Structure 1
């Protein structure tokens, strides 16, 4: 298991909902002993924010600005790219219906499905990238390559299976692509994740044409958007906002 991955996951748990707001509510309750009104106010604010962002409407306040930064790729043939790069997005471990082998998560499956569509339209070679930060035996990249080849009949030219985060996806993929003379790529990942991924791949010196998939903000609105249902989308969007800030400070000189 990657220590850096574990540390990032732990820090994220404390900085992102629901734990950060639960801790804020607990802080408010503790403060009530000495400052009753202030402590009550802090707890109420935490609960209100927690409720708001668990609605699709509240989550959209964080999601929509990110997704609008990189619109869908409409004419992939005209992009003059040299390769398609697909980022891993997690796995389902030991899936019993597949004989106990690891399979792509829902997000990863949607990414490789879109990559297969792009490959059929452009005939470009494909690179898949993703390691095993949680300590699995097989890399995400190898799982993605297997599914692309077996289920979508799409050949995979390069498998990068050593990276444990987006910055490493960019670094290790660049080494492979640079050796192959590739500089201009179609980059496939979630629309929410695209801005951060695009920036780090560009910092490596690659020309990036964003090919985002899984747009959440364009889903049809319903009255249920105002009901608290899930924190997943809001937490994911906040993770990306924090990631953009962190990468801007920590990974601004990747190519050096």
Structure 2
């Protein structure tokens, strides 16, 4: 496991909040006031991350790309040359299938891309390389799911990328040879702005097709202030995306986020 992954998990929530709680216990006798502060910050942070109300409000700030109306699906070929599905990880060794499967997020993207492809007739490029070096690639798993479960064939597979930036970089290598520069980009709504930015840096004209919105109002008890496990996971996704938006422009272009 890369050392940077260890520090990322430790220094970002929820790891950070757990560290604060541990520090509160360790300092309870020597620095009681500081210990109380750490305890409140740690527990309060965990509660906030578990609240659907916080998820909804945070997502509103991050999900800036509008939905692609269904009445435009059939005319997408007028504005794009291909549909690009971004990789989103995998589930290891699912016993039901006897092999790795696309993650829940990836399956959502695949399902939506299949609907767009059937409506528009556009060819699909699936992206995603190996996860920690283990085959098959995410692109290959997406192609298999599209073929077997949706009856849709993938024309291109980009099998090298590990990040959103590499999704765009290696997709360029494939589509440039066929003079295709207009793409329909499929990914979760909270991920779309960064994904679009990456593809535009490589000269693509992007039609955004976001899905999996977290900002949609949810019918939950106590107006969403009651902690839920699902909200905790969603908060982690949003936090990771917020950090990615801050880092990417400086890491890859040296310019601030537009």
- Is 1:90 paired with 2:101? no
1:107 corresponds to which residue? Answer: 105
1:49 corresponds to which residue? Answer: 45
In structure 2, the CA distance between the partners of 1:184 and 1:84, relative to structure 1 (3 Å rule), is same
Q: How far did 1:32 drift?
A: 4.7
In structure 2, the CA distance between the partners of 1:173 and 1:7, relative to structure 1 (3 Å rule), is farther
2:58 aligned counterpart, secondary structure? helix
Structure 1 stretch displaced more, 168-177 or 224-233: 224-233
Structure 1 stretch displaced more, 165-174 or 213-222: 213-222
1:245 corresponds to which residue? Answer: 246
- Is 1:138 paired with 2:136? yes
2:59 aligned counterpart, secondary structure? helix
Q: How far did 1:253 drift?
A: 6.5
2:233 corresponds to which residue? Answer: 232
Write the distance in 1 (CA, Å) between the matches of 2:3 and 2:217.
34
Write the distance in 2 (CA, Å) between the matches of 1:165 and 1:92.
17
Gaps of 5+ in 1: none
1:72 corresponds to which residue? Answer: 67
Gaps of 5+ in 2: none
2:253 aligned counterpart, secondary structure? coil
Alignment deviations for residues 42-63 of structure 1 (CA, whole Å, 9 cap, x no partner): 3212211211221111222322
Asked whether the 8 Å contact 2:87–2:106 carries over to 1, the reply is yes
Aligned residues, how many? Answer: 248
Write the distance in 1 (CA, Å) between the matches of 2:158 and 2:244.
22
Asked whether the 8 Å contact 2:89–2:131 carries over to 1, the reply is no
2:91 aligned counterpart, secondary structure? strand
Q: How far did 1:120 drift?
A: 1.2
1:149 corresponds to which residue? Answer: 147
Write the distance in 2 (CA, Å) between the matches of 1:226 and 1:214.
21
TM-score by length of 1: 0.89
2:173 corresponds to which residue? Answer: 175
The equivalent position to 2:13 in structure 1, one of 9, 14, 17, is 17
Asked whether the 8 Å contact 1:86–1:189 carries over to 2, the reply is yes
2:96 aligned counterpart, secondary structure? helix
Write the distance in 1 (CA, Å) between the matches of 2:96 and 2:33.
55
1:172-211, aligned counterparts within 5 Å?
172-211=170-209
Asked whether the 8 Å contact 1:29–1:40 carries over to 2, the reply is no
Q: How far did 1:8 drift?
A: 5.1
Asked whether the 8 Å contact 1:104–1:143 carries over to 2, the reply is yes
Write the distance in 2 (CA, Å) between the matches of 1:21 and 1:11.
14
